[in-house]
Amino acid sequence: MEIFGQTLSLGHVIFLLLALGLALSFEFVNGFHDTANAVATVIYTHTMKPWVAVVWSGLWNLTGVLTSAGTVAFGVIALLPVELVIHVGSAAGFAMVFSLLISAIIWNVGTWYFGLPASSSHTLIGSIMGVGLANAMLSGGHSFGEGVNWDKAIDTGKALLLSPIVGFVFSALLLLTLKALVKRKDLYEAPEKDAPPPLWIRILLILTCTGVSFAHGSNDGQKGQGLIMLILIGILPATFALDMGIDSKSIQDLSSTTQTISFQMDKHSPGAAMGAGPIAEQYLSDYLKPGAKMTTDTFAAIGTECREVSAALGTHQNLNELANDQRSKLRNDLFLVSGSLTKAVKTNAITDPDEKKAAGDLSKHMDKFTKFIPSWVKVLVALALGLGTMIGWKRIVVTVGEKIGKSHLSYGQGASAELVAAMTIMAADRYGLPVSTTHILSSGIAGTMAANRSGLQMETLRNIAMAWVLTLPVCMFLGGAIFAFTLNVVFHAIGIK
């Protein structure tokens, strides 16, 4: 059967559909949690009818997804074990993707069932860490913890930890500022039963809902996109390993630049002999693991891989001129060299200012070839998010509106929390950091309740905090256990290697 220009067996077609179905199911369930928060205030305050709010939010989620740069998507991929990313078409690579998605879906559905605003970002990252640890243990010869990109995990953890604090503090401050500047009693009252608020308040709440929806699409929607791209690269590498739309000038520029950089790398490795192909790849794969240091052999490997990239591109004017296996090989070379140069610059393994700039520019140039997301993938993810919101919004809306504070949510509180949430998510998106819409918004609501002296329902806050604390270890365990079971039992039984 031919799909996207490649001939696949029936087994691979089933595998592709199953994997894509799981990835879209993850985003569908994500809609239960995170997108539901975007519509919570407009539905709870009767500003918009539920179906109108969901459709409106879905459209702005779609806009956010379509205009996203992909930095968060590939930031999530950077957490994955290097050897599984470059060999995503192997049994271990497929087991990784299935394990991430299944464990994340299990936890998200469980917390949604109990009406707890849980974080899909937190869930996915816990699953990634569990798979990384399990892969290192099963591979043999690896120390515990080697399978996780701890530097990236720490950066992500800081974002997940600090963003709810930002939501709490700044939402409280914004509400107090609003009270000092806008002397409208109706803005600070809880909604009357089935009665819509005054027109000006409705406009305000629709605008803040729009902002959160757009920001959520631009950040959360990218996580599923990154996983879908891994699936497509693993099963359809000839079509999706590289951005086939790259123009001829970029191709020739990369060919010449990699040749130049190779000479610079050779100066850092005088006399070092480096075998091409798998040998150089292994050196760079090892260098990208946590704690690895730059050596003369690593410099030699970068130089060797750069020459291979330059030779592969040659005088080609179009990537379609490359054979299928050449595209897969080129993608891996670009991924390894780009990551190694970025790490070398970040850790000051390269100290000369001109060399640093050249290495950084080359890394960005290489990323354009491998870090891309087709528009149809973005549309599918946005639709999955919107459909999930339509099905599962009610439980989270009730929690946000009635169970965080001792008094019901007022118009001003909802607007303050949503405005801060939108701005915080957009800032995280700028730096490629995955954050939780759920935690930022629910913390923002709690902050407005504290600022308003409305009182907080400690049982609900304890449950949310417990879900936050348990998410990481539970998803690490689920991800690791499902990975080991899938790889050693399921795939072994059906003969996938």
Query: So what's the pLDDT on residue 253?
Result: 93
Clarify whether residues 449 and 337 are in a common domain.
Answer: no
Last residue of some domain: 323, 349, 370?
370
Clarify whether residues 166 and 207 are in a common domain.
Answer: yes
Clarify whether residues 267 and 407 are in a common domain.
Answer: no
Give the pLDDT of the chain (497 residues) as one tens digit per residue. Answer: 778 777 777 877 888 888 899 989 888 887 766 666 777 778 777 888 877 887 888 788 778 877 877 777 777 777 777 777 877 777 888 888 889 889 988 988 887 777 666 677 778 888 888 888 888 787 765 555 566 666 666 776 777 778 888 888 999 899 889 888 888 777 777 777 777 788 888 888 898 888 888 887 777 777 788 888 888 888 888 888 899 989 999 999 999 999 889 888 888 888 777 777 788 888 898 898 777 889 898 999 999 999 999 999 988 889 988 888 889 899 999 999 999 999 999 888 888 888 999 999 999 999 999 988 888 888 888 888 777 767 766 666 666 555 565 566 778 888 888 888 888 888 877 777 777 777 787 788 888 888 877 666 676 667 667 777 788 888 889 999 999 898 888 777 776 66
Q: CB under 8 Å to 110, separation ≥6 — which residues?
A: none
Check if the beta carbon of residue 450 is closer than 8 Å to that of residue 226.
no
With CA atoms as reference, report the closest residue to 386 among 118, 36, 45, 46: 36
Does any domain span residue 3? no
Classify 405 as helix, strand or coil.
strand
Clarify whether residues 198 and 84 are in a common domain.
Answer: yes
Cα separation of 138 and 136, whole Å?
6
Alpha helices for 236-277 (secondary structure H) = 237-240, 248-267
Does any domain span residue 4? no
Query: So what's the pLDDT on residue 152?
Result: 64
Clarify whether residues 258 and 204 are in a common domain.
Answer: no
With CA atoms as reference, report the closest residue to 109 among 46, 166, 32, 169: 32
Clarify whether residues 220 and 315 are in a common domain.
Answer: no
Clarify whether residues 25 and 169 are in a common domain.
Answer: yes
Query: So what's the pLDDT on residue 407?
Result: 60
Query: So what's the pLDDT on residue 309?
Result: 92
Last residue of some domain: 340, 370, 400?
370
Total tally of structural domains belonging to the chain: 2
Check if the beta carbon of residue 134 is closer than 8 Å to that of residue 483.
yes
Clarify whether residues 291 and 430 are in a common domain.
Answer: no
Clarify whether residues 228 and 251 are in a common domain.
Answer: no
What is each CA distance from 121 to 224, 235, 268, 343, 423, in whole angstroms? 10, 25, 40, 24, 17
Last residue of some domain: 370, 385, 420?
370
Query: So what's the pLDDT on residue 7?
Result: 76
Does any domain span residue 161? yes
Query: So what's the pLDDT on residue 248?
Result: 92
- Tokens 């089935």, residue? 194
The region, left, alpha or beta by phi > 0 then psi within -120 to 50, assigned to residue 455 is left
Check if the beta carbon of residue 43 is closer than 8 Å to that of residue 198.
no
With CA atoms as reference, report the closest residue to 118 among 160, 57, 77: 160
Clarify whether residues 453 and 304 are in a common domain.
Answer: no
Clarify whether residues 101 and 73 are in a common domain.
Answer: yes
Query: So what's the pLDDT on residue 252?
Result: 92
Does any domain span residue 383? yes
Query: So what's the pLDDT on residue 331?
Result: 92
Query: So what's the pLDDT on residue 130?
Result: 87
Cα separation of 59 and 54, whole Å?
9
Check if the beta carbon of residue 317 is closer than 8 Å to that of residue 251.
yes
Rounded (10°) CA dihedral 472, 474, 479, 485: 160
Does any domain span residue 357? yes
Q: What is the pLDDT of residues 250-274, one digit of tens each?
A: 999 999 999 889 888 888 888 777 7
Clarify whether residues 210 and 291 are in a common domain.
Answer: no
Does any domain span residue 394? yes
The residue range of the domain holding 205 is 9-235+374-494
Does any domain span residue 2? no
Does any domain span residue 1? no
Query: So what's the pLDDT on residue 395?
Result: 61
